[in-house]
Amino acid sequence: MGETVFRNARIVVGDSIVTGSLKVEDGIITAIDSGVAKTGKDMDGDYLIPGLIELHTDHLENHYRPRPGVFWDPTAALHAHDVQIAGSGITTVFDAVRIGSDADMPEMGRHVDRLVNAIRAGRDEDRLRVEHLVHLRCELPSHDVVEQFEAYASDPITRLASVMDHTPGQRQFRSLEDYKRFYQAGRTAAELEAFVAARMAEHERYSGPNRRHIVKRANDLGLALASHDDATLAQVEEAEADGIKIAEFPTTLEAAAASRDAGIAILMGAPNVVRGKSHTGNISATDLVRAGLLDILSSDYVPFALLQAAFALPERVETLSLPQALALVTTNPAQAAGLNDRGVIAPGKRADLVRIEVIGGSPVVRGVWRQGKRVS
């Protein structure tokens, strides 16, 4: 790939911003220099930041299933997703695929197979702009979640698994009324009550045994493990005992504080920051930042929200610098996922880079490089 120099850039290096130049050789950062360089790609004073790392996005599934009952070609869905991810400054993405069939998706395994095969082929044939890895979102009350987990857990592109339970009356849906509002579309009152009762029965029958199996297998395989929507001290204690490393979307301050005490990295949604609140009425991510209880941001369902949130937070939280905010979407997720070759601009690290111009207070992506190669 040869040598590339980026000059006249504001380079985010750790906790500081260096105005100068950066040298890349064969996809690896080799030097960072302050001052004026006479040759190289002129960044016109724009920011040069590490490529963003996304641990939990449902966006591929949204492209694959754009409407209820409508399923798109998986290769086309993947490439549409890939373009948007790259354009959002994300250079490493963990595509979250939900495993475990339910009443809404009785053949989930077939759909997951199509998506994972598309990701695998795209990687093998070097057709993708960014690096795609797989995050298995394990819905514990499902009767076939263990079977589907075993089908993909040993695949080298699977690097993260999360244990989830969307049973009404707990975690994300502690309010039974909120759950009913979320799932009431197209159902009569009697049908909704039957739906809720069936979900509770599945939880009682399957959640405990499924969690024990998946946690043990994930730890045996060395997969990073995440919990989902922890709300209580007891749930965090269970996560700690299970070897959980990431707490995704804790719904209460109590759960977030307990996760910090347990050494579990706290992940929240960037759309929560951008909007100023959770779409389900749970705790605000910005409040967790103010309390010093946030480690990682995830775009969840809006890819560009990662950059928006990282640049917005220093304006809202006086004690937070831009480099510290950017660490929530670069360095910290890399460390939590065991990706020690990226997530920071430093000699010897991958040249995953994003050029950002700030226009009217909003970040605009001007260029994206993955291992020194321009991809957007």
Give the tens place of pLDDT for each residue, 106-134: 788 999 999 999 999 999 999 999 999 99
The Cα 210–Cα 42 span in angstroms is: 54
**10: β partners:** 19, 47
Q: Which two tokens stand for residue 336?
A: 């939590």
Give the tens place of pLDDT for each residue, 58-76: 999 999 999 988 999 999 9
Of the pLDDT bands very low, low, confident and very high (cuts 50, 70, 90), residue 104 is confident
45 to 41, 86, 334, 355: CA distances (angstroms): 11, 22, 27, 10
Task: Enumerate domains of the chain plus CATH numbers.
Answer: 51-343 (3.20.20.140)
In the predicted model, what is the mean pLDDT of residues 177-202?
70
Q: Which two tokens stand for residue 302?
A: 């809006």
Q: Which two tokens stand for residue 105?
A: 């998706």
pLDDT, the chain, mean? 92
Give the tens place of pLDDT for each residue, 317-341: 999 999 999 999 999 999 999 999 9
Give the tens place of pLDDT for each residue, 10-24: 999 999 999 999 999
- Please, are residues 207 and 167 in contact by the beta-carbon 8 Å criterion? yes
In the predicted model, what is the mean pLDDT of residues 217-230?
95
Provide the pLDDT for residue 376: 97
The DSSP symbol for 245 reads -
Find the helix or strand (DSSP H, E) in which 181 lies: helix 176-183
pLDDT at 259 over 90: yes
Closest CA to 3 of 33, 36, 30, 34: 30
Strand 362-370 to strand 373-374: parallel, antiparallel, or no bridges (unpaired)? antiparallel
The DSSP symbol for 2 reads -
Of the pLDDT bands very low, low, confident and very high (cuts 50, 70, 90), residue 166 is low
